[in-house]
Amino acid sequence: MFEFRERDGLARIGTMETRHGRVTTPALLPVVNPNRPIIPPTDLANRFHAEILITNAYILGRGPHRDSVLRQGVHEFLGFSGAVMTDSGAFQSHVYGDVNVTNAEVIDFQKRIGADLGTMLDVFSEPSHDRARATKDVDETIRRAREADSLREDMALVGAVQGGLHTDLRERCAQEVSTLGVSVCAIGGVVPLLESYRFQDLVRVIIASKKGLDPSKPVHLFGAGHPLVFPLAALLGCDLFDSASYAKYARDGRMLFSDGTRHAAELRESGCPCPVCSDHPMKDISQNETLLAEHNLHVCFAAIREVRRAIAHGDLWELVERRARAHPALLVSLRELRLHNEFLEEFEPVDRRGALYYVGPETAHRPILHRFRHRLLERYQSPPAKGLLVLPEHRRPFMEGYAPVLARVMASADVHAVVKSIWGPVPVELDQVWPMAQSVVPDSLELESLEAADVFFREWAAGAGYPFGLLWEGDSSLEELRARAPGNRTVDWNASRVRATADYQFGRGAAEALLRGTISYVISKNTGKVRNVVVDGDHVLSLRAEDGLFTLKAAGAQRLHGAFQAPRLRVVIESDAVPFVREGKNVFAKFVREADPELRPGDESLVVSPDDELCAVAQSSMNRREMLAFKRGVAAHVREGVPPLPSALPH
Ligand code: GUN
Ligand code: ZN
């Protein structure tokens, strides 16, 4: 069973339960070679705090230790009381061309030695395999996954996803395998990609697989043991990694670092803060395979901890973009991500703690910014005006810096104002919406970012319906604005901010539904900003200072519920859960029947009964796919329960 508590991108900090304890993900599983354990499993537990390790059932079953493992069980044999995953020999078939075992035999052996997670014998798809070959191997892998499921009894099973570079086969294999009784889904066949730094292909393979996988199951990336790829792979939703690299590289005298690999013999200092590098001179380390392996493992575990830190803090994208500078192949893979924004955006939380930092021209293509531009096109309604004033990128929040300009222009020209920002067009009244006010961008921009900003701007401006747009170049622009858009404009900025934000956040038409009636605002004494929106005496919305988005109140939820047809903004729960949710209890994923496919983690949602009666207003913590898949965890945190209407009460 798997449950998560924090998320960022497709990454999650979760717990996976095993018969030998809980494992926190993302997790690194050090590979223990039973014939050559360079770091003893007791040390893995005590010195490296490994909660889980992986060893190879195929090697154990054929080697000299077969009888003792069968007699003692794998935990006692290894001297490790944490969780043990075993692999099946599929990788050996990739290396040696064939293996001398059947799927049924290797499942049986893993059961007998007491593996906490046992792996089916998948058919390794090489990246070079053509469609026909990959199809045949995927079909056989699916057949064996079914067979393994029927044989596993109470052993938790790892199902493998193959399909080479054929994305549709990957997706199909993932879909079929994750419908079975598997506890972990593993993406296989990627070692050749990792070994040759084909990270762009790796991205395509992981995303295609993730599209087919059940999001409630932890995902293992087979053979990914270099810290260079952990941030990227975790961002794309891989929860478990296994590393033989720490030992293999040590054998070759090489040291792993989070930004690459170096030959120990060529280093006078490693620059690494791990205990090995702190306590030993480089010349001792470089000649000692065990010290090298220990350093490598320290670095790998530290890299995993750094990923977890970034997930919890909400800056995993930044880490990935920064780490991508370590190798050109990673940079190429980073540029691949924008092609998958439609899928990635589904999982992207609506906001996060702290600011969004510009890292490079790739930053503008992050899903959160893709979403902003997309919602602007789909949801934002441009106010009528005779023209468009285009303001250049500026100190944020834009409205603060530009207030004097706006006052001067609008006194004598009827124009609407939009900032042509590095992230895309930002109507000035939306300047507080996360991450528009909360981003840190350079004062001067390189050509690629400027060109992208231009493209983003044109995409929006073409449909915005203004007869002209004029770029503000200082007071010299005033005359032309007056000539082309004669008149003036008085804007109630509070009202326009509230309207635009409501449509942006809840969908076009939301402002109309939420704000019909007599409106008043509660203004914060500290900031002068709108805090609460009251309509006809009802508190309908609160505007959050941190992210410029609304918290929906019950009265607001009622208005949206009346105006928007199902499934919009809805989380539909089972009848049994209705009374609890009405009392303010959270919505657990296992009680969710349906949900709006447009809901994103962090979005405000309407919790409704199967008959579409409003039961609560909540903040969702999952998207629809996840709500329907998870049997554990909270799908939406209820902000306020809504009692039944008097007419719906039993008489
Ligand atoms: N280890 C590395 N790659 C693979 C793979 O594709 N399948 C299995 N079972 N183990 C692996
Ligand atoms: Zn070190």
- How would you classify the pairing of strands 21-25 and 570-573? unpaired
Q: Is the beta carbon of 91 within 6 A of some atom in ligand 1? A: yes
pLDDT at position 15: 98
Name the pLDDT band for 98 (thresholds 50, 70, 90): confident
Using a CB cutoff of 5 Å, list residues around ligand 2, an ion: 272, 274, 276-277, 295
Q: Is the beta carbon of 188 within 6 A of some atom in ligand 1? A: yes
Top-confidence residue, 100 or 503: 503
Give the mean model confidence (pLDDT) for residues 381-407. 95
Give the mean model confidence (pLDDT) for residues 384-412. 95
Catalytic residues: 87
Residue 648 above 70 pLDDT?
A: no
Across all residues in the chain, what is the average pLDDT?
96
Residue 78 above 90 pLDDT?
A: yes
pLDDT at position 119: 98
Give the mean model confidence (pLDDT) for residues 92-109. 93
Q: Say how many Å lie between the CA of residue 221 and the centre of ligand 1.
A: 9
Give CA separation, 184 vs 1, 11, 18, in Å: 9, 15, 11
Give the mean model confidence (pLDDT) for residues 615-633. 97
Q: Say how many Å lie between the CA of residue 220 and the centre of ligand 2.
A: 26
pLDDT at position 651: 52
285's CB contacts (< 8 A; 6+ apart) are 255, 264, 270, 276, 277, 291, 292, 295
Give the mean model confidence (pLDDT) for residues 112-123. 98
Alpha-carbon distance of 95 to 646, in angstroms, equals 70
Question: Which tens digits make up the pLDDT trace of 458-482?
Answer: 999 999 999 999 999 999 999 999 9
Question: Which tens digits make up the pLDDT trace of 529-585?
Answer: 999 999 999 999 999 999 999 999 999 999 999 999 999 999 999 999 999 999 999
Q: Say how many Å lie between the CA of residue 223 and the centre of ligand 1.
A: 7
Alpha helices in 73-198 (DSSP H): 74-78, 90-96, 103-112, 131-151, 167-178, 191-195
Domains 2-342 and 356-484 share a fold: no
Question: Which tens digits make up the pLDDT trace of 284-342?
Answer: 999 999 999 999 999 999 999 999 999 999 999 999 999 999 999 999 999 999 999 99
Going from N- to C-terminal start, the domains of the chain cover 2-342, 356-484, 507-648
> Using CA positions, which residue lies closest to atom 5 of ligand 1?
188
Largest CA distance in the chain: 92
Dihedral over alpha carbons 472, 477, 483, 486 (to 10 degrees): 50
> Using CA positions, which residue lies closest to atom 9 of ligand 1?
90
Residue 442 above 70 pLDDT?
A: yes
% of the chain residues with pLDDT over 70: 99
CATH class, domain 2-342, is alpha beta
pLDDT at position 649: 55
> Using CA positions, which residue lies closest to atom 10 of ligand 1?
91
- How would you classify the pairing of strands 634-641 and 614-620? antiparallel
Give the mean model confidence (pLDDT) for residues 593-605. 98
pLDDT at position 650: 58
Q: Is the beta carbon of 160 within 6 A of some atom in ligand 1? A: yes
Alpha-carbon distance of 278 to 271, in angstroms, equals 9
CATH number of 507-648: 2.30.130.10
Q: Say how many Å lie between the CA of residue 117 and the centre of ligand 1.
A: 14
Name the pLDDT band for 440 (thresholds 50, 70, 90): very high
Give the mean model confidence (pLDDT) for residues 249-261. 97
CATH topology of domain 356-484: Rossmann fold (3.40.50)
Give the mean model confidence (pLDDT) for residues 350-370. 95
Q: Is the beta carbon of 90 within 6 A of some atom in ligand 1? A: yes
